[in-house]
Amino acid sequence: MKRLPAILLVSTLAAACLYPGTALAADGEIPPAALVAMLSTGVLLCAGLVAYRRALGLLITSQYGALLAIYLAHQHRVVLTGGTSICNISSLISCDTVNGSRFAEIAGVPIAVFGFAFYVAVGYLAFKFFRGGAERAPAMIMVLCVMAVGFDIYLAWASYSLGAICLFCAATWAVNVILLVGSTLSARGTSVVAAVTEEASSTVIAGLGALILGVLAYQGGGQPQAGPSGGAASKADASPSDLGSLYELAGGPITLDGTEPLKGDPNAKYTFVEWADFQCPHCAVMFPVMEELLAANKDMNLYYKSYPISDACNRFVEGLRHENACKAAAAAECGRQQGRFWEFAGQMFKNQEYLGADDLRFMAEQVGLEPKAFETCMADPATAQSVVADVEAGGTAQINGTPSIFLKGPFGDQWVRVIGGKEAIETILQAARSGKPLPAPAPPNPER
């Protein structure tokens, strides 16, 4: 027992050091493999500590979970403002897809904030157990962890329905399982009813206090400044290196066949093309952002192309993934044919969880589409072929996810891919309008 203070100090430092490492990884400072190794190391360290000294392990594991929750809450805000992270390793491994989805909030509060409150409550109980004199604390931890793991099962289902995996989220699931196993082993022979009676009130106070602080901190965080892959820190006076990080050469030719929905002046100086998926949460976030940019910048326009993340119509994707995405893209094409594409697209992005056949017909009527013409269009093989044509154009451009936004204008007829969201676009446009030479685009990065 004399070694425990030293072990506590070393373990706490080790767990604390893991968090900056994962943060650096998610901001693009270290390769994705290092991110996986870092998160795995944290989980293994927690498991080892629980096996070695149960009370200490529960305490350190709750700390590590709280750190992961804090970062996920921060990243949630970044995603909602158009930023991205290196956790978007592919369309399958994408923290932003999961963390920016409808499943990532409860009543407008990120579930990561609730997770933080949970880990604080567990940490409070673990600390009491570690100090001695709270033999029933592990049983209370067990009760909390049973609920947490049950919620994790729901989140795993949500992740499956989104067709994406969040590595940071998965790390918290592992942490919760470790906490459940450790607390269960420590609570053997303890009455759960007695534990709840004895510990519930103070635990609720600790968790509720952490939740209130977490909500206040999240809401008071202001507008985040995205990192290298998520936008510029300042639109004015951006340095050449900052500007150069906001775009790169397109991976292949960008082709427009004249059937794309267009918003804005056809003769605008700056032309944007966006490939998107109606079941992609980040695309839903970007849709109103692009509309806002179009309203504020009359010298830009936007062409839309579909890129459903489903092998039902996209040969570049493995698996069904977004099962309604192909039909939604076809419905959008039918909306275009009746002159209601943008209204229809807006409805589908707002109702991503309701894109079945009946839902599409209902929304089509709501935006003013003629029902019989819509049904005829949906049954026409040419409609599905139009979606495939957009997908093939995306394959030629070598896009690797959605949304993918390309820009022509700052470099003449040369297309560049925009890296980031609203702030990145505004910064590029402002720099281009200044008349000063922009840094040459970097070669395309297939891993981005």
Q: Is the pLDDT of residue 1 over 80?
A: no
Q: What percent of the chain has pLDDT over 70?
A: 85
Q: Is the pLDDT of residue 346 over 50?
A: yes
Q: Is the pLDDT of residue 236 over 50?
A: no
Q: What is the pLDDT of residue 105?
A: 84
Please tell me the distance from the alpha carbon of residue 326 to that of residue 333, in angstroms, as a whole number. Answer: 11
Strands 270-276 and 300-306: parallel
Please tell me the distance from the alpha carbon of residue 108 to that of residue 263, in angstroms, as a whole number. Answer: 30
More confident call, 14 vs 267: 267
Q: What is the pLDDT of residue 240?
A: 54
Range in 83-87, 382-386, 441-445 the model is least confident about: 83-87
Q: What is the pLDDT of residue 195?
A: 86
Mean of the pLDDT values across residues 63-76? 89
The segment with the largest mean pLDDT, out of 35-44, 228-237, 331-340, is 331-340
Range in 205-209, 240-244, 412-416 the model is least confident about: 240-244
Mean of the pLDDT values across residues 127-144? 90
Q: What is the pLDDT of residue 239?
A: 54
Q: What is the pLDDT of residue 77?
A: 74
pLDDT range class, residue 228, cuts 50, 70, 90: very low
Q: Is the pLDDT of residue 150 over 70?
A: yes
Q: What is the pLDDT of residue 335?
A: 97
Q: What is the pLDDT of residue 37?
A: 83
Range in 29-33, 145-149, 324-328 the model is least confident about: 29-33
pLDDT range class, residue 318, cuts 50, 70, 90: confident
Please tell me the distance from the alpha carbon of residue 56 to that of residue 45, in angstroms, as a whole number. Answer: 12
Is domain 240-433 annotated with CATH 3.40.50.1000? no
Amino acid at 3: R
Q: Is the pLDDT of residue 217 over 90?
A: no
Q: What is the pLDDT of residue 317?
A: 86
Mean of the pLDDT values across residues 206-218? 90
Q: Is the pLDDT of residue 162 over 80?
A: no
pLDDT tens column, 73-106: 888 877 665 556 666 666 677 787 787 777 888 8
Q: What is the pLDDT of residue 20?
A: 44
- Cβ neighbours, 10 Å, residue 190: 16
Q: Is the pLDDT of residue 206 over 50?
A: yes
For the chain, domain boundaries: 4-219, 240-433
Q: What is the pLDDT of residue 287?
A: 93
The segment with the largest mean pLDDT, out of 59-68, 101-110, 279-288, is 59-68
Cis check: omega of the bond before 403, within 30 degrees of 0: yes
Q: Is the pLDDT of residue 388 over 60?
A: yes
Q: Is the pLDDT of residue 17 over 50?
A: no
Q: What is the pLDDT of residue 90?
A: 66
Is domain 4-219 annotated with CATH 1.20.1440.130? yes
Computed over every residue of the chain, the mean pLDDT equals 84
Q: What is the pLDDT of residue 114?
A: 94
Q: What is the pLDDT of residue 190?
A: 84
Q: Is the pLDDT of residue 329 over 50?
A: yes
Q: What is the pLDDT of residue 331?
A: 98
pLDDT tens column, 170-192: 999 999 999 999 999 998 888 88
Tokens of 185: 């082993």
The segment with the largest mean pLDDT, out of 4-13, 21-30, 150-159, is 150-159
Mean of the pLDDT values across residues 377-404? 94
Range in 229-243, 274-288, 294-308, 371-385 the model is least confident about: 229-243
Torsion of CA 270, 339, 367, 385, to 10 degrees: -90
